[in-house]
Structure formats: structure tokens, C-alpha cells
Amino acid sequence: MAKLTLKNLNKSFYKNREAIHAVSDLSIETKDGEFVALLGPSGCGKSTTLRMIAGLEDITSGEVLIGERKLNDLHPKDRNIGLAFENYAMYPPLSVYDNISFNMRAKNVPKETIKKEIDKMASLLDLKDLLAMNPSALSGGQKQRVNIARALIRRPEVLLLDEPLSHLDGKVRQKMRTEIKHLHNEINCTTIIVTHDQLEAMALADRIAIIKDGVLQQFGTPLEVFNHPQNEFVAGFIGEPPMNIFTVFATFKEGSVYLVSKNGKLRFNVPDKYKDYLEEGKEYRFGIRPTDISVVTDDQPYSTELNVTVFENVGEECRIHIKIEEDNILSIVSEEIYKLDTGDGIKIKFDSDRIHIFDVNTGERVE
Ligand code: ATP
């Protein structure tokens, strides 16, 4: 088992003499055996980070360590890291068995040892029926399993997975996701996965590092990043459908704090603790997840009457879309509100324990 540390990691590429800061001052420390996801939109620097850990990309500055062992100047093969990249080529003329055992054979490991190790991998990753096959005959999911077996057979201290599921579709993708989670529970090897899919990161990882433009935005458990996003970017990136986020301003009246939407159509009371954080008359970005908005009956004075723009009953839940001038608000309710239709008037209520307020300039969470 091993702890992986990234210390103030930087990577700049130069294009026409202009620097592209692919990774900026990234610091992350995993625990032994932890499963960590690097998550962010395309181009945010996830793969570059993984490649620096693997030794496939020079480090501009900063350090990569396993335990106390600094990896910066070590050759990739001396780092004791297993890599499973999305398009990691297999040797086409060789069987799956020979592909997995390639490095062991190159090191003259005795045949019986190789067989024992491969049998172990085969049962762990459900590969028994594939061992005699040629790589060209494998499906996407099977190729990924073989890739992971090839990485793990070296008994690495750290396993790196680069978008292992992105070319798989639907059910295969979900099945493989569960298999990877199961595998991690079995082998407990410190694992870093790169993904742009927040659901994948939430389902697999113990902790998620959310990156934007090469800069770490938040490093926390799936529940921490979901329930307590540190900034507006994280709030909007985590969660599907995404959080409703719109501009409000704060007003104080008779000792209570109210937030009012820019168009004035929504005016709601927020818990008193916000008195310490909000400034009278100042604009903020306000976030609320669709599942934290409920529809209330007429006699409860929570909001002014709003009109349903679109109503969808998707079986297990009802989705109510409300357009308030430039803002679109989505409420997801589980009650059976079958009767709503476009144009119907409703009132809504926000769960005040589950609101998120961000600074309008910095995007940072308030409180
Ligand atoms: P994706 O999900 O699309 O793979 P990513 O988050 O993994 O994206 P990177 O591939 O790490 O992002 O790229 C980060 C930034 O560095 C991007 O702006 C990219 O264009 C740039 N970059 C990556 N590799 C190089 C390179 N070899 N030369 C120049 N720029 C590069």
C-alpha cells in the first residue's frame, strides 16, 4: 500500500512562445489504498497530471512522491506504477495471456509463477474465457479488463486509470464501473482515475479532486463536494440535473435576512446565521438543487405565484420547469403532481438548510 503525494505540481507547455499552464500549483495527498478521481471538463489538465505521475510527461516544477520516495527523476518503469490508458495498445499477434504476461516473460519470470499470477488476475477480473483470444476479438469492456490486468500484474503501489470507461456505452459502462469498484475493494491499491464524468467520479471515488483550468477547485468526498461545494464552479459541475443558480441581492428587514431575485419575483427568508456573512444590498449568486425545491399549497406564503413553463412526469419523479424572466428554475418533486400543466400557477419553497450562496465576484462560497 502507498500514499501518493502531489506537491505544488506545475506543467507549462509552450506554443508559439506562449505558455499554456496546463497544471497550476496542484497539491493533493492520498491515503494508503484510497481511490481518488481527478474530475473536470475537457482540457482542465487531468491527463497531464496523470502523465506526470506516470513519468510520461516532464514536470515543470513541484514533486510527485509515493510515501517518502520522490519519483520526479525516475524512469516510468522504475516508479512502481500501473497504468491503464484508454487506448493502451496491445500486441495484436499475441493472445490475451501473452499480452498480460509480456513483461514477466521479458524478465524471465518462471512459467509456473506467471501462470499462478495470471490465474489470480483472471479470476479477479473475470478473464478466464478471454485468455486464449486475440486482442482484436475483444469487446471494449473486455479490452479494459485486460488493460487493467496488465497494469496490476506488476503489483504496482499505485494504479492509474485514464478514462477507462469513456468509450463504453450504457449498460457495459455501468457494469464495468461496478467491476472497477469491486476490484478496488479486493486489491485495495491506491488508485487514481481520470474522468470528465461526475457520476463516474461520485460512484467510484473515496475523494474527488475537481480541477478547472489546471487549478484545483476542491478535494473532498463525493458527499462533501455535493453538499458543500466550495465555489460556484463546483456547484454547477457536480449534480445532474445541475443546481439552479441565479443572481439575488440581500435585504435586511425586522431582524431577518431576505434574498430577492434580480427580477423581484422571488423573495425568501434565509436562516439568521447569514446575517454574519451577507451585506445589505449586495448581489450574490444563489444555488439550490432541483430536489431541494418543493411545491407548496396556495395558503402558504412562500413565494409569489409563478407559472409552470414545462411539466414532465418521468415516472419516479415529476420535473417542473419555471421560467422567471432570464432565469430557468427546475424543481424535482416525488409527489404525484399529475395535474400540473404549462401555464399553471404554483408557489415554491426552498429547503433553507440546503441553500448555497456564492460571492458574485470570486465565485467562492459564502459561510
Ligand atoms: P481531456 O479530458 O480532453 O483529455 P484533460 O483535462 O485531460 O482533457 P489535458 O489533456 O491534460 O486536459 O490538457 C490540459 C491543457 O494542456 C490543454 O489546454 C491542452 O491543450 C494542453 N496540452 C496538453 N498536452 C499538450 C502538449 N503536448 N502540447 C501543448 N499543449 C498541451
> Does residue 319 form part of some domain?
yes
Mutate to test the pocket of ligand 1, among 42, 48, 193 (most ligand atoms within 8 A of CB): 48
pLDDT at residue 287, rounded to an integer: 97
Exposed/middle/buried for residue 343 (C-beta within 10 Å: 0-12, 13-18, 19+): exposed
pLDDT at residue 300, rounded to an integer: 60
Query: How far does the centroid of ligand 1 lie from the alpha carbon of residue 8, in Å?
Result: 18
Is 244 a pocket residue for ligand 1 (Cβ < 6 Å)?
A: no
Are residues 348 and 331 part of one domain?
yes
Mind listing the pLDDT tens digit for each residue in 241-296?
A: 999 999 999 999 888 999 998 878 888 889 999 989 999 999 999 999 999 998 88
Please report, for the domain that includes residue 19, its CATH number: 3.40.50.300
> Does residue 321 form part of some domain?
yes
Exposed/middle/buried for residue 93 (C-beta within 10 Å: 0-12, 13-18, 19+): exposed
Residue ending a domain, choose from 186, 203, 236: 236
User: What is the tally of structural domains in the chain?
Assistant: 2
> Does residue 326 form part of some domain?
yes
Residue ending a domain, choose from 200, 220, 236: 236
Calculate the alpha carbon distances from 356 to 138, 181, 209, 270, 274 in Å. Answer: 47, 31, 20, 11, 11
Domain that holds residue 82: 4-236
Do residues 53 and 5 make contact, with C-beta atoms less than 8 angstroms apart?
Answer: no
Is 21 a pocket residue for ligand 1 (Cβ < 6 Å)?
A: no
Are residues 276 and 217 part of one domain?
no
Considering only CA atoms, which residue is closest to atom 19 of ligand 1?
A: 43
Query: How far does the centroid of ligand 1 lie from the alpha carbon of residue 45, in Å?
Result: 6
pLDDT at residue 293, rounded to an integer: 93
The label of the residue with cell 454574519 reads: 276
Cell numbers given for 172: 457495459
Query: How far is Cα 117 from Cα 159, in angstroms, rounded to an integer?
Result: 17
Looking at this predicted complex, what is its ipTM?
A: 0.97
Residue ending a domain, choose from 236, 259, 277: 236
Global confidence as pTM: 0.91
Helices marked H in the chain: 46-54, 96-106, 111-125, 140-152, 170-187, 198-204, 222-227, 232-237
Mutate to test the pocket of ligand 1, among 13, 26, 217 (most ligand atoms within 8 A of CB): 13
Are residues 250 and 217 part of one domain?
no
Cell numbers given for 363: 465565485
